[in-house]
Amino acid sequence: MGFEKFLFYVFAFITLWSSGMVVTRRNPVHAVLFLVLAFVTSAALWILLEAEFLGIVLVLVYVGAVMVLFLFVVMMLDVDMAILRANFTHYLPLGTFITVVMATEIFIVVGSENFGLVAFPAPEAVSMAVDNTRELGLSLYTIYIYPVEIASVILLVAIVAAIRLTLRQRPENKYVSPSNQVHVKRFDRVRLVKMASENSNFETPAKDTRLDDGVTK
């Protein structure tokens, strides 16, 4: 058994084990962390397949950004697992039955008979000089330019939809816009009013309009 094969089995085992933990952990934060682990080891598997761009991007995007936000949300949630699990056993027999049927079907179809080395011979190794990131970029932006553009529209829609569904002015929120704060002028807050003196014994200084200039207008 070569070193690469050994690495493959190690990573594959960790991937499967951590995926199993994702669904069986009671604590949602632990589940998310196991999911992160599963992503990292799948990235390692991809790198073993010499798809280093995909592997690194998986870590960068999913582990580095998406899962962080996921973790963020899960930590804030107050999930009562007892309620979630109340009906668990109720659906268990049906669920198990369907799972077993599906798994059997998949095992029958996705076996070495249909997907073995005969049907899919291993591709010839390319030289190290081939930069597969560059190759990927070239085919994405020429052959698959149309799907790439559609994908970008989907992301735009996701932004619009998320903002529409969440952004709202809430009256109970005491948020003060910093730019409004900065732009406040003295005239907006303080007004100097010139009044005649209440007591007529005092003589008001005549024609003293210094305070008026530009202040009370």
Which residues in this chain contact another protein in the complex, by CB under 8 A?
Answer: 29, 33, 36, 52-53, 56-57, 59-60, 63-65, 68-69, 71-72, 75, 105, 108-110, 114-115, 131-133, 142-147, 150-151, 153-154, 156-158, 160-161, 163-165, 168, 178
Residue 179 tokens, joined: 């730019």
**Residue ranges with strand state E in the chain:** none
The residue (of 79 and 158) whose beta carbon lies closer to another protein is: 158
On the CB side of 123, CA atoms within 13 Å amount to 6
Least distance CB 22 / another protein (angstroms): 16
Closer to another protein by Cβ: residue 165 or 206: 165
The span from the CA of 158 to the CA of 164, in Å, is: 10
Decide whether 10 or 65 has the Cβ nearer to another protein. Answer: 65
Q: Using the 8-state DSSP alphabet, how is residue 102 labeled?
A: H
CA distance 107 to 110: 5
Name 191's Cβ contacts closer than 8 Å, sequence gap at least 6.
215, 216
- Sequence-distant (6+) residues with CB within 8 A of 31 are 21, 22, 23, 25
For another protein, which is the closer residue by CB, 150 or 192?
A: 150
Q: What is the rounded CA–CA span in Å between residue 114 and residue 217? A: 87
Which of residues 8 and 52 has its CB atom nearest to another protein in the complex? 52
Distance CA 108, CA 104 (A): 6
Query: Least Å distance between CB 192 and another protein?
Result: 31
User: For another protein, which is the closer residue by CB, 53 or 215?
Assistant: 53
Q: Which two tokens stand for residue 68?
A: 């962080």
